[in-house]
Structure 1
Amino acid sequence: MCIAVFLWQAHPLYPLFLLRNRDEYPSRPTEPVAWWDNGEILGGRDGLAGGTWLACSRSGKIAFVTNVAEVGKVPEPKSRGDLPVRFLESKKNPTEFAEEVVMEAHQYNGFNLILVDLSSKSMIYVTNRPKDEKALVSEVPPGIHVLSTASLDTPWPKAVRLRTNFEKFLEKHGSGELPAEEMADKLMTDATKADKTMLPGIYSVEFEHSLSSIFVEANTDQGRYGTRSISAVSVKTSGEVAFYEKYLEEESWIEHTASYVMEQTGTG
């Protein structure tokens, strides 16, 4: 059950600062963050379906997706991991691409999708499981936001905990540079589980409790399940992008960072 916290257009040095955990079965083939074949997309790649959970482009686009916790499934669904890739490969802005996604949203299992264009300072949230009859598409306002496997900023215990701890780091560092790797290490490895009375009640209590921490380690009927990668993406007003990843490979954690300067740097 993936989770992300991000700061959008609310810091003097960082138009965007993002931390994200990807939770998955270790047996699922996965390629770590790297430049893709055409050299325009930087991100991890799902070795089974070919999509991604988080990626960015040289032109200043960023996209990431989470699933939505639900019991029902769509028969023969499209791959949610294709959505970020399609956006990054397209010439469409976030709003235009969101409108395209809405037309086919019923063909996917539940998803949350964040679409960013840094050159135009645009961030759009798309979901096919809106909460309380809200719109499928909405603009994300400046500030701190948390996205888990519920609607954007839903106050599930792990989301509240992550936001609170993220805010403490921001208070500590003020308007100065943020230590991305340190924040990823301290905030995204938190294995504190929620009180069982605070769980959303979508699955069994024991299963939900095992998934209720920011960093997940759980045993399921399908085998071990948990956090496989921790990412930090920081974008500076200068257009510098740093994509840090710490990922699990054969019981060992490997760290690496890819950096580049956006082709369009109108991110001030």
Structure 2
Amino acid sequence: MCLMIFAYRVHPDYPLLLAANRDEFYARPTAPASYWKEHPALLAGRDLEAGGTWMGLTQSGRFAAVTNFRDPARSLSAPRSRGELPLKWLTSERQASELLAELESQDSDYAGFNLLLGDRDALWYYSNADKAPAIKLEPGIYGLSNAKLNSPWPKVIKGKARIAELLSGPIDHQSLLDTVHDKGSADPAELELLGLQETMDAALSAQFISTEVYGTVSSTTLIWQADGQLSWRERTYDSQGNKQGVVQQDLQLA
């Protein structure tokens, strides 16, 4: 997953509102979000190549998501798949502090990543891009792509502004999806200031990416209400950016 825009404990009725795109090579096999047979309380998509997931939610209120970190030095093969990271949290009952402390000692086993994990009480961010400790997030509007949290990439800035506007109006899955669905590329001058000048940078600067072999393969929106009702919707796309399917799951936390 390569773009997440979320409002955490900003709206009194919605502790978490999130919109996210997963960008991937079209040839990589993937299963849409569903409840896993071996973990019946886990709702997540599945990477059929390495077996992990990019984002998931449990019926007890655990949430996790991961993005790759854009750093050629950390994009080489690593011993373990980043898709394991959300599962470490979603399939356990461990405390976040315990799991994150363990991960800090093992993070060199993975290529560069950004990780979000949380539950009904807290939301945490950790990256192995540096040795900074995990951060327990304060209420606010956040954007995460393939750099550190809230890095000022154009598509992150655009998404944060749109979700801020959304908070004052009707909130539904379509309005959340719109915060990450812009297909326009960033201004070349903006990319130059960020050091993003490679051939593919313009195409990859769009929120919704569409190239010949790589692009946005799914979008997920999550509406978490203060009364414990959650609604998850995932849309999948083909290589032309056309909608292929929709999975929607609504649940009530115990």
Q: Which band: TM-score by shorter chain? A: over 0.9
Structure 1 unmatched ranges of 5 or more: 264-268
Q: SS of the residue aligned with 1:205?
A: coil
State the alpha-carbon separation in 2 of the partners of residues 65 and 232 from structure 1.
15
Contact 2:7–2:163 at 8 Å: present in 1 too?
no
Deviation of 1:260 (Å): 1.0
Q: SS of the residue aligned with 1:40?
A: strand
The answer for the alignment partner of 1:161 in structure 2 is 158
Contact 2:32–2:46 at 8 Å: present in 1 too?
yes
**1:194-233 correspondence runs (5 A):** 194-199=186-191, 200-201=194-195, 204-219=197-212, 224-233=213-222
State the alpha-carbon separation in 2 of the partners of residues 235 and 2 from structure 1.
21
Contact 2:18–2:176 at 8 Å: present in 1 too?
no
Partner deviation per Cα, 1:199-219 (whole Å, 9 max, x = no partner): 2335x5321111001101124
- Out of 234, 247, 254, the residue aligned to residue 256 of structure 1 is 247
Counterpart AA for 2:134: V
**Structure 1 range deviating more: 69-78 or 9-18:** 69-78
The answer for the alignment partner of 2:185 in structure 1 is 193
State the alpha-carbon separation in 2 of the partners of residues 233 and 248 from structure 1.
18
Partner deviation per Cα, 1:128-181 (whole Å, 9 max, x = no partner): 013xx7x231111111100010000111111111111111111334xxxx1122
State the alpha-carbon separation in 2 of the partners of residues 250 and 68 from structure 1.
23
Counterpart AA for 2:105: M
- If the length of structure 1 is used for normalisation, what is the TM-score? 0.88
- Out of 168, 173, 185, the residue aligned to residue 180 of structure 1 is 173
Deviation of 1:74 (Å): 4.5
State the alpha-carbon separation in 2 of the partners of residues 250 and 76 from structure 1.
27
Q: Percent identity?
A: 32
Q: SS of the residue aligned with 1:9?
A: strand
Number of residue pairs aligned between Structure 1 and Structure 2: 248
Structure 2 unmatched ranges of 5 or more: none
Partner deviation per Cα, 1:202-259 (whole Å, 9 max, x = no partner): 5x5321111001101124xxxx110000100111111111110110257652122011
The answer for the alignment partner of 1:266 in structure 2 is none
Q: SS of the residue aligned with 1:206?
A: coil
Deviation of 1:109 (Å): 0.6
Contact 2:215–2:239 at 8 Å: present in 1 too?
no
The answer for the alignment partner of 2:21 in structure 1 is 21
Contact 1:94–1:117 at 8 Å: present in 2 too?
no
Contact 1:9–1:143 at 8 Å: present in 2 too?
yes
Contact 2:78–2:111 at 8 Å: present in 1 too?
no
State the alpha-carbon separation in 2 of the partners of residues 61 and 50 from structure 1.
19
The answer for the alignment partner of 2:58 in structure 1 is 57
**1:95-134 correspondence runs (5 A):** 95-118=97-120, 121-130=121-130
Deviation of 1:187 (Å): 2.2
The answer for the alignment partner of 2:42 in structure 1 is 41
Partner deviation per Cα, 1:5-28 (whole Å, 9 max, x = no partner): 111112111111110000001111
Partner deviation per Cα, 1:92-149 (whole Å, 9 max, x = no partner): 122221111111011111100001111xx2111010013xx7x231111111100010
The answer for the alignment partner of 2:228 in structure 1 is 239
